[in-house]
Amino acid sequence: MTIGERIKSARIGAGLSQRNLAEKMGLSAMAISKYENGEVTPRSGLLIQMSEMLGVNVDYFFRSISVDLSEPQYRCRKPLKKREESQIHAKVQEWLERYLEIELILGEEKPLLLPSREDCRITSLGEIEDVAQKVRDEWNLGLDPIESVMDVLEQHGIKVGIIGATDKFDALTFYYDDNTPVIAINNDTPGDRQRFNLAHELGHLLLRIEGDVDEETAAHRFAAAFLVPKEMAFRELGQRRRNISPREFYLLKHKWGMSMSAWLHRAADLGIISERTSKRLWLLFNSNGWRQTEPGTPLPPEHPTHMKLLVLRALSEKKISTARAQELLGGEQPGEQCVEAF
């Protein structure tokens, strides 16, 4: 990317128009346009001022690595405006460039370790249970609750990042080099929904659907089966129930990291409760507003650690400076969250 293209990308990521940026900097919109089109190269002092206005390190404008988002697949609660999409694209692009740069510095990249396409082929929703268990078996996850879905995905070569975005946006998935999958999720998301979104996106990456199975329904079923294996759902709830109390769903949410609503879906999908019982429970959820905001203490969100560990390793081995580490961490001071422990 040229300096002009980076100025444009950073401006879009900051949610500013050319006129907005020009006003903040005391310039004309025409001047900003000329910088972005490469007709004029801004002086170093102007680039420093611009980096402060756009919330990026000045090194960003000279970064050697650049990536493109190839056909990202969105998961959103409401349709995004074109401007919102562009802003999300710019933020994801900037984060991924930093991720790839630290991998390049250390000469290390996690190999992609996904199950074979044949193992993930399905022709019906019922087959998804076996696929989800195969993934757990191949990744040595056993049957217990997954402590960190983010860490599991990153340990198997899927890059995961969190970005600030409109609350309409949940997640997007794409391949940055036609081979390595990337998942970016909204940083303002409760932990249970965040985990489900990650598992849902994993379903989109893995499942090979044949026949008339709806792709979104399949990804939802995979997410629930991956987070809570069928065998464990039966152990927790029993084989057949006439009723399930909200308190049970609440306790299971905090044990397994899956929302009360997802547990209700899971119980219905596995035939633990009848359709009639399911409808009655959904009426209860709706009347209490639990489909929008579930009761009790929210599940805390997860945070990706792999990229941060790479940066801290490079800093410890004196391959990068503290200022460079801060730039690679998107402005965060290296170790600022754990410094009190030492």
Sorted by sequence, the CB contacts under 8 Å of residue 256 that are 6+ apart come out as: 145, 227, 228, 232, 263
9-33 average pLDDT score: 87
Over residues 217-243, the pLDDT tens digits come to 999 999 999 999 999 999 999 999 999
In 3D space, the residue among 282, 232, 289 whose CA is nearest the CA of residue 262 turns out to be 282
pTM exceeding the 0.75 threshold for the entire prediction: yes
276 by Cβ neighbours in 10 Å (0-12 / 13-18 / 19+) ranks as: exposed
Q: CA-to-CA distance for 230 and 270, rounded, in angstroms?
A: 8
Asked if 6 contacts 61 with a C-beta cutoff of 8 angstroms, the reply is: yes
Residue 242 in tokens: 């006439």
3-class DSSP string for 158-213: CEEEEECCCCCEEEEEEECCCCCEEEEEECCCCHHHHHHHHHHHHHHHHCEECCCC
Sign of CA dihedral 199, 201, 207, 210: positive
Sorted by sequence, the CB contacts under 8 Å of residue 232 that are 6+ apart come out as: 143, 144, 256
Helices (H) and strands (E) in the chain, counts: 15, 6
What domains can you pick out in the chain, each with its CATH number? 1-62 (1.10.260.40), 118-287 (1.10.10.2910), 306-341 (no CATH)
* pLDDT of 66 strictly over 60: yes
Confidence (pLDDT) at 333: 79
30-59 average pLDDT score: 84
Q: CA-to-CA distance for 98 and 217, rounded, in angstroms?
A: 34
Over residues 109-129, the pLDDT tens digits come to 888 889 988 889 999 999 999
Over residues 130-159, the pLDDT tens digits come to 999 999 999 999 999 999 999 999 999 999
Q: CA-to-CA distance for 88 and 162, rounded, in angstroms?
A: 11
In this prediction, residue 335 has a pLDDT band, given cuts at 50, 70 and 90, of low
Q: CA-to-CA distance for 225 and 242, rounded, in angstroms?
A: 22
Q: CA-to-CA distance for 17 and 208, rounded, in angstroms?
A: 41
Over residues 156-184, the pLDDT tens digits come to 999 999 999 998 999 989 888 778 899 99
Question: In the predicted model, what is the mean pLDDT of the chain?
Answer: 90
Over residues 94-103, the pLDDT tens digits come to 899 899 889 9
